[in-house]
Amino acid sequence: MNFEIDESIQGPLAALRERGRNEARPIGLEADRLGRPIPVGDPYFARLIARGEGRTRWRGPDGEKKARSKPKSAGSRPSRRTVKTLLFVEELAYWDRGVVVANPGVGLPEANVIAMGTDEQKERFLGPFLAPDRPRWACFAMTEPGAGSDAAAIQTTARRDGDHWILNGAKCFIGNATRSDWILAQATLDPTQGRDAQRAFFIEQGTPGLGGFRIEKKMGLKAYESTSFTLQECRVPGANLLGGEARYEKRDGFKGAMKAFNAGRPVVAANAVGIGRAALDEALAFAREHDRLADPRVRDRLERAARKLKLSRLLCLKAGWLADREKPNIIEASMCKLVAAQVGQEATSLGMELLGTVGARGDHLIEKLYRDVKALDMVEGTGQIQRIIMARQLVGLPR
């Protein structure tokens, strides 16, 4: 048993802290004040690219071949990738979650493309992100106006037409969609067949039929664009079906690609912990400055917020630790997501309470955090959905 963060992580964490303080925090506050996403041409993005950020973690065709030929030694240490990611994500979210999502890179679809994509697809769609010449984005489009948590209910259809696919439907709340090189969009071959009939398609920006972009006005996390768009007789080549045809002849569609462990929900949870921690630090500083810490009611509430955030962080890391060992973590992943989103919200709400009417002015960092953190109880499944996922495992709740 070990709860230590060793030096190999402390160093990068300290670097993220400095950048967060100097860059992400002020840029995020500005975007919030102006009520618009960070513009594509913002020098901040160019600086990131110049520093070597915004790259894919796919290692390129040669790197992949090398990795495949290298046999895994039997006694090799388990991966620490998820645990490290969780700690980094938490630190990034501490400074500004919205800016993190706005940062250039493959983003959400990366894991799926690496896991399921054909060699040709990886080269074509991830290749430009190996050493990007300019800020580049990609995005994943699942959510629809009528299908959020119930992802099996999506209505965007894919119809075969010779060696092409024709897509029709509407997507919403898609991060970075207008600035993405390509969109990986989920569609169904048959809306009555649920997840089994779902496929994902690469749609390149500018493809005829992809349009109707509308950047939504949001309560928080304004630094990145959340966009709705439509697909009208949008025609993509057969080669744009994620994983290729052959994959689906062998496997039962999308479900075949789902693993027994999940690293996405712990990442969302870690974001909530990061935002909650930022609120706690600000609230503590405010309370100290205003001589409120002698009041046991104030102390008690701050203590509880800190304890719950610590607990949430431990739940996240436990779920991530399991994922790194490729052990089932469905319960743990949902649990940390459920708990952390609530706890993060409570911490920011407590911050507002301690600010008093100062919080009502609408210009305090805590007030922004209070708005920002709410999204994390929705993305990757609401808290209610997390309970249902857990209940399937724990009390045999039928689907």
Q: Which residues are catalytic?
A: 380
Smallest gap from residue 321 Cβ to another protein (A): 5
Smallest gap from residue 356 Cβ to another protein (A): 20
Tell me how many residues contact another protein (CB under 8 A).
Answer: 48
Q: DSSP per residue over 324-357, as a string?
A: HTT---HHHHHHHHHHHHHHHHHHHHHHHHHHTH
Each residue 341-380 as x (binds another protein by CB under 8 A) or -, in order, gives ----------------------------------------
Q: Is 396 in the site for another protein (CB under 8 A)?
A: yes
Alpha carbons within 13 angstroms on the beta-carbon side of residue 322 total 22
Smallest gap from residue 398 Cβ to another protein (A): 7
Of the candidate spans 194-202, 209-217, 229-237, 332-340, the one that interacts with another protein by CB under 8 A turns out to be 332-340
Of the candidate spans 53-61, 111-119, 222-230, 318-326, the one that interacts with another protein by CB under 8 A turns out to be 318-326
Measured distance CA(303)–CA(301) in Å, rounded? 5
Q: Is 303 in the site for another protein (CB under 8 A)?
A: yes
Q: Do 236 and 164 contact (CB within 8 A), yes or no?
A: yes
Structural element, H or E, at residue 230? strand 226-237
Of the candidate spans 53-61, 105-113, 139-147, 387-395, the one that interacts with another protein by CB under 8 A turns out to be 387-395
Measured distance CA(248)–CA(252) in Å, rounded? 6
Query: CB under 8 Å to 271, separation ≥6 — which residues?
Result: 89, 90, 93, 97, 100, 376
Closest to another protein by CB, 153 or 391: 391
Q: Kindly tell me the burial class for residue 74, based on how many C-beta atoms sit within 10 Å of its own C-beta (0-12, 13-18, 19 or more).
A: exposed
Each residue 62-101 as x (binds another protein by CB under 8 A) or -, in order, gives ------------------x--x------------------
Q: Is 50 in the site for another protein (CB under 8 A)?
A: no
Tell me, rounded to whole angstroms, the distance of Cα 138 from its chain centroid: 13
Closest to another protein by CB, 160 or 325: 325
Q: Is 277 in the site for another protein (CB under 8 A)?
A: yes
Tell me, rounded to whole angstroms, the distance of Cα 109 from its chain centroid: 10
Of the candidate spans 52-60, 174-182, 229-237, 295-303, the one that interacts with another protein by CB under 8 A turns out to be 295-303
Closest to another protein by CB, 194 or 383: 383
Among 221, 270, 284, 355, binds another protein (CB under 8 A): 284
**Structure-derived torsion over alpha carbons of residues 250, 109, 142, 161, reported in degrees to the nearest 10:** -50
Q: Is 275 in the site for another protein (CB under 8 A)?
A: no
Give the SS3 label for residue 48.
helix
Give the SS3 label for residue 231.
strand
Amino acid at 345: Q
Measured distance CA(224)–CA(233) in Å, rounded? 28
Smallest gap from residue 391 Cβ to another protein (A): 5
Question: Among residues 190, 16, 32, which one has the least CA distance to residue 94?
Answer: 16
Among 309, 330, 354, 369, binds another protein (CB under 8 A): 309
Q: Is 395 in the site for another protein (CB under 8 A)?
A: yes
Among 114, 311, 358, 378, binds another protein (CB under 8 A): 311
Structural element, H or E, at residue 81? helix 81-102
Structural element, H or E, at residue 199? strand 198-204
Alpha carbons within 13 angstroms on the beta-carbon side of residue 158 total 23
DSSP state, residue 23: I
End-to-end CA distance of the chain: 36
Q: Is 397 in the site for another protein (CB under 8 A)?
A: yes
Closest to another protein by CB, 126 or 340: 340
Residue with tokens 């002698």: 294
Q: Is 318 in the site for another protein (CB under 8 A)?
A: yes
Each residue 160-189 as x (binds another protein by CB under 8 A) or -, in order, gives ------------------------------
Residues that bind another protein in the complex, under the rule CB under 8 A: 1-6, 9, 80, 83, 277, 280-281, 284-285, 293, 296, 299-300, 302-304, 306-307, 309-315, 317-318, 321-322, 332, 335, 338-339, 384, 387-388, 390-391, 394-398
